[in-house]
Chains A and B, each alone.
Chain A
Amino acid sequence: AQRVTQPEKLLSVFKGAPVELKCNYSYSGSPELFWYVQYSRQRLQLLLRHISRESIKGFTADLNKGETSFHLKKPFAQEEDSAMYYCALIPSNTGKLIFGQGTTLQVKP
């Protein structure tokens, strides 16, 4: 079965600390993986996708096929990073996003 798991409901860190939001997936083919973010009172939006290999707002995510993981990382968290983060998977050629349960990141001053 295709599944995305985000094991942490809440991750709380202090400003300036490193952040790692975990994402594991279950899919037998070649997945396309995304991180979406929802800031308070804003709509859900794309943060980054593995295929582009970009760093957005200081966040990076590496696809590890051996561990079936796509963890989101940032070396120094900022208060404005506080938000809900969703990891998502598109199985090949389907167009249907499968979302994880979401992780709330709280960055304390």
Chain B
Amino acid sequence: DVKVTQSSRYLVKRTGEKVFLECVQDMDHENMFWYRQDPGLGLRLIYFSYDVKMKEKGDIPEGYSVSREKKERFSLILESASTNQTSMYLCASMAASYEQYFGPGTRLTVT
């Protein structure tokens, strides 16, 4: 069974803080993704990575950065959190079949 885990289920941070969201997968997948999920907007791609140290911007990368030092770990970084980054964040990894496997999500609240 593919396992994608995220470091926190719930996070509360203050405006201006640096925030790290971690994602780990155990299936040796090369491709990993970060999305944010907002009601009425669906899932929007923030960043993705197709190999270690490789990354590409998604549709809404502003205010975010990522790090992929090891194949199994993909981190999302909010350099200076803002209230409009309050959201559910989903990590996913993708098999060769193009099926994506999702983590349980991190609900981030920025106050």
> CB within 8 Å of B: which residues of A?
6, 9, 32, 34, 36, 43-46, 49, 86, 90, 95-102
Contacts and interface: CB of A to CB of B under 8 A. Distances in A.
Contact of B104 (A43, A49, A90, A99): A43
Given A44-B90, A95-B94, A86 B43 contact: yes
A101 B40 contact: yes
Interface bin, chain B: 20 to 34
Interface of B: 4, 31, 33, 35, 40-45, 48, 50, 58, 90, 92, 94, 98-105
Please report whether the interface of chain B is mostly helix, strand, loop or mixed according to DSSP.
Answer: strand
Nearest to A93: B98
Contacts of A96: 33, 45, 48, 58
A99 B43 contact: yes
26 contacts: A6-B42, A9-B40, A32-B98, A43-B102, A43-B105, A44-B90, A45-B101, A45-B102, A46-B99, A86-B42, A90-B98, A95-B31, A95-B48, A95-B94, A95-B98, A96-B48, A96-B58, A97-B43, A98-B45, A99-B35, A99-B42, A99-B43, A99-B44, A101-B41, A101-B42, A102-B42
